[in-house]
Amino acid sequence: MQKVKIFDTTLRDGEQSAGVNLNMSEKLEIARQLERLNVDIIEAGFPAASPGDLASVREIARTIKGCSVTGLARAVISDIDAAWEALKEGAEPRLHTFIATSPIHREFKLKQSKEQVIETAVSSVRYAASKFAVVQWSAEDACRTELPFLAEIIEQVIRAGAQVINIPDTVGYITPEEYGNVFKYLYEHVPSINKVELSTHCHDDLGLAVANSLAAVQHGARQVEGTINGIGERAGNTALEELAVALHIRKDYFQAETRLNLQEISRTSTLVSKLTGMEVPANKAVVGRNAFAHESGIHQDGVLKEKTTYEIISPELVGYQNNSMVLGKHSGRHAFRNRLKELGIEVQDQEINRLFSVFKETADRKKEMTDEDLVAIVLEEGLSKTESFYELKSIQVQYGTNQIPTATVTLSGSANEEIQEAGTGAGSIEALYNTLEKCMNETIDLLDYRIQSVGAGRDALAQVYVKMKCAGKETSGRGLAQDVLEASAKAYLNAVNRVLYMKESAEPIVSR
Ligand code: KIV
Ligand code: ZN
């Protein structure tokens, strides 16, 4: 079996998804889960993008020891220096640097000749290799690059010190057969190719990212880059859970394996979906809600007689369990903590009391506390630990079919002052959001609003996701409560607090 490394870029390319912005504690939570999933490399961010990005990459590099942590840098000394600052305390400092190589990018974006691009790439790799234990170099838009030029620049950067060469299909343009041929060509035309590992990085614009990545593995790629749930720029990246399960289920065909702990897949997918607010489509392979649901009578009959008639992947393989009812209001602290542990959530001693009292309050109002509820509560409480400029004290909303909806809101501001306002709107949420906007000195446009129940039942918790423009910046937020209006208010404040915190701590330096 050929070993294939998994390079997870959920926190870098994945975080480039429109409307996703994770704070440091959310990124750390995802990184810890990726470590449990046993990925080989975590790309934690783009340190030169902003002081906030640098700080979170540094925190992840300091914390994560079970896999390598890397960060992205353009072929620019200041980017590489920022990445070094972020990564130098990691277990194995590793840099990922890139420059575009295709004619379109050379002419219109870089305005550099082929020779200039080679020179910039070589000098940046040489500089990076003087600092980092491992340097990975990527040819951005490699798949629309002339193959002889691609081979030439790769040979030069290998000589300059790159140990991993990544061949991205940046715009999701290539097909599996063509992509396989690119790898074949490089093996035949780059003299030093056997000194490095080749990596694949695909985007899903034509829905081919996983198929292309598998074709690359068949043609000698020893590292696959991608994201959990396939999130990422535009249509997203290779969905790592799909790729890993394809290699596992069809090992007879691919003869390749990853070191992923497949049982952690469902938990990782849920965590990423909840924290990014990017819902997993019900029919998505491996992690969609319907991925293991058999609807037609003929299929159900077949599965009851013998599962493998219609089921090639068992839900247990990727960590789905059937025990949803767990705790209730009589459950003790010990049982609560144990169940969290079984769910992969380690809670510090000083936090357990706070979490347990939120659990008790919720369990008082809700008959059964499922695993989904526990995860939602812990994530929500993790959120409220982060910087809050505005905190919700109370809301009151009045709605009647023949009345103008009215809201009254009380908040506490950054200096602990009380802010109180009242307002109206065409519906309850509009009244609430108009009133919240009045409380702040910012113009806020709501771009998206989504509500989901956490699990089933009339007493299910409500989870609200919002996307909005606040102080000229796009932001997103989420809120959890028993009541939909309270969850809506919390999501709104969470999104505003993120922007205000970003504004205060870290203005972006370069755009991603
Ligand atoms: O898609 C791409 O080309 C990238 C590079 C920075 C590797 O994400
Ligand atoms: Zn990419």
pLDDT at 480 over 70: yes
387, pLDDT greater than 80? no
Per-residue model confidence as pLDDT tens digits over 287-305: 998 998 887 888 888 888 8
Q: What percent of the chain has pLDDT over 90?
A: 75
pLDDT at 112 over 70: yes
pTM greater than the 0.75 cutoff? yes
Nearest to 68 by CA among 5, 3, 141: 5
Token duo for residue 135? 């340097």
* Cα 237 to middle of ligand 2, angstroms: 7
**Distance between CA atoms of residues 335 and 332, nearest Å:** 5
Residue 56: how many other CB atoms lie within 10 Å: 27
What is the predicted pLDDT for the residue at 444?
94
**Ligand at shortest distance from the CA of 139:** 1
138 Cβ inside 6 Å of ligand 1: yes
- 324 pLDDT band, cuts 50/70/90, is low
Which ligand 1 atom lies nearest to the CA of residue 225?
7
Ligand 1 lined by 32 (C-beta under 6 Å): no
pLDDT at position 509 is: 43
* Contact between 443 and 475 (Cβ < 8 Å): no
Identify the CA nearest to 147 among candidates 116, 117, 195, 188. Answer: 188
What do you get for the CA distance between the two ends of the chain, in Å?
38
Structure tokens at 435: 């009133």
Q: Which of 164, 100, 174 is nearest to 143 (CA)?
A: 174
Q: Is the CB of 74 under 6 A from ligand 1?
A: no
Q: Please answer whether residues 165 and 152 qualify as being in contact, where contact means their C-beta atoms are separated by less than 8 angstroms.
A: no
- pLDDT of residue 386 exceeding 70, the answer is no
d(CA 195, CA 218): 19
- Please choose from 74, 98, 137, 179 the residue to mutate so as to test ligand 1's pocket, defined by most ligand atoms within 8 A of CB: 98
Determine which helix (DSSP H) or strand (DSSP E) holds 493, and give its type and residue range.
helix 484-505
| Distance from the alpha carbon of residue 454 to the mean position of ligand 2, in angstroms | 32
Q: What are the strands, taking DSSP E only, across 106-152?
A: 134-140
Distances (CA, A) of 125 to 20, 42, 137, 146: 31, 20, 7, 21
Distance CA 241, CA 320 (A): 14
What pLDDT, on a 0 to 100 scale, did the predictor assign at position 227? Answer: 98
| Closest by Cα among 182, 274, 230, 241 to 461 | 274
Task: With H, G, I as helix, E, B as strand and everything else as coil, classify residue 393.
Answer: strand
Report pLDDT digits (tens) over 15-41.
Answer: 988 878 899 989 999 999 999 999 999
Indicate if ligand 1 lies below 6 Å from the C-beta of 140: yes
Cα–Cα dist 286/410, whole Å = 44
Q: Which helix (H) or strand (E) holds 280?
A: none
Residues 6+ apart with CB under 8 A from 20: 14, 231, 276, 277, 278, 476
Look up residue 259 and give its two tokens.
């070191």
DSSP structural state of residue 434: H
- Say yes or no: CB of residue 7 within 6 Å of ligand 1: no
Tell how far the Cα of 187 is from the centroid of ligand 1, in angstroms.
Answer: 21
Q: Quick check: 342 and 375 in contact, CB under 8 A? A: no
**Is residue 297 within a helix (H) or strand (E), and if so which, with residue range?**
helix 297-305
pLDDT in tens, 428-465: 999 999 999 999 878 899 999 999 999 888 999 999 99
